[in-house]
Amino acid sequence: MKKITLVLISLFLTTNLWANSPPLGGWYMYFGNTTFKDSKWKANYDVQYRNHELASDLNQLVVRTSAQYQVMNNLNVALGYAYVHSEHINTPDLPYYENRIFQDVSTQQNYGASVLKHRFRLEQRFIENQDYKSRIRYQLGIEIPVYKNEEKNQSIYTTAYNEVFMNLDKASRSKNAFDRNRLYLGAGYKFNKDVSMQIGWMNQMLQKQSYQQLMISLHHSLSIK
């Protein structure tokens, strides 16, 4: 577990050195899920407002939802859809749109109080005025508690993940199989079993450029009984 954490930190420091100091971006996100009584099904949904700069110049607005099914303990599959509104830097009058279908396989292992998470995602991307694209993503993440109050279901934790994106469609692969890599380090506070908040720093490395983002996210779970 310590080795995995050290590898993630080393990757973050390495990719950070590659950056050519573009503007610091800001990603502001809401993640929610709804579970149902005596059901293996879960609804996931998120909204993400991503800026090229910390508080201005919209990069992307992402609205996403999925239906998740628990195949067995610690193994889930999901089918989902995302709508993505994108803008290049300093070009608010030239947006372009994407409709995206995706499939997930996710699992996790507990190591004491820490949790190691894996997620594989396939994406079918229909982008305005572009050829069909597809890619695969693999995310390896870890969550390590720092403080925990069992009585109040409150905790402080650190979290990190690395996610690599690889192109699958022939046209994209002929140029470069690698799409991007995201490395994230953050900390979170769980107010109770249903609500938590995270703040962190992400390095996003594309084929020719690296970007830094401040990440702030609210996480909410709802149970329907």
Of 100 and 23, the one with more pLDDT = 100
Per the structure, the count of domains in the chain is: 1
Question: In the structure, what pLDDT confidence band is assigned to residue 93 with cuts at 50, 70 and 90?
Answer: confident
**Cβ atoms of 210 and 185 closer than 8 Å:** no
Query: 142 lies in which domain range?
Result: 1-16+24-223
CATH number at residue 81: 2.40.160.40
Convert the pLDDT of each residue in 99-132 to its tens digit.
Answer: 999 999 999 999 998 999 999 999 999 999 999 9
Of 53, 84, 62, the closest CA to residue 214 belongs to: 53
Residue with the larger pLDDT of the pair 19 and 55: 55
The predicted structure's pLDDT at residue 14: 53
Q: Mind listing the pLDDT tens digit for each residue in 31-58?
A: 999 999 999 999 999 999 999 999 999 9
C-alpha span between 23 and 133 (Å, rounded):
28
What count of residues does the chain have? 225
- CA atoms of 64 and 66, how far apart (whole Å): 7
pLDDT above 70 as % of the chain: 91
pLDDT at 19 over 80: no
d(CA 139, CA 215): 17
Using one digit for the tens of pLDDT, what is the confidence trace for 148-174?
A: 998 889 999 999 999 999 999 999 999
φ/ψ bin of 207: left (φ > 0), alpha (ψ from -120 to 50), beta (otherwise): alpha
Write out pLDDT tens, residues 180-203.
999 999 999 999 999 999 999 999
Mean pLDDT, the chain, as a whole number? 92
Residue 118 corresponds to which tokens in the numbers above?
A: 């894996």
Amino acid occupying residue 217: S
> First-to-last CA distance in the chain?
37
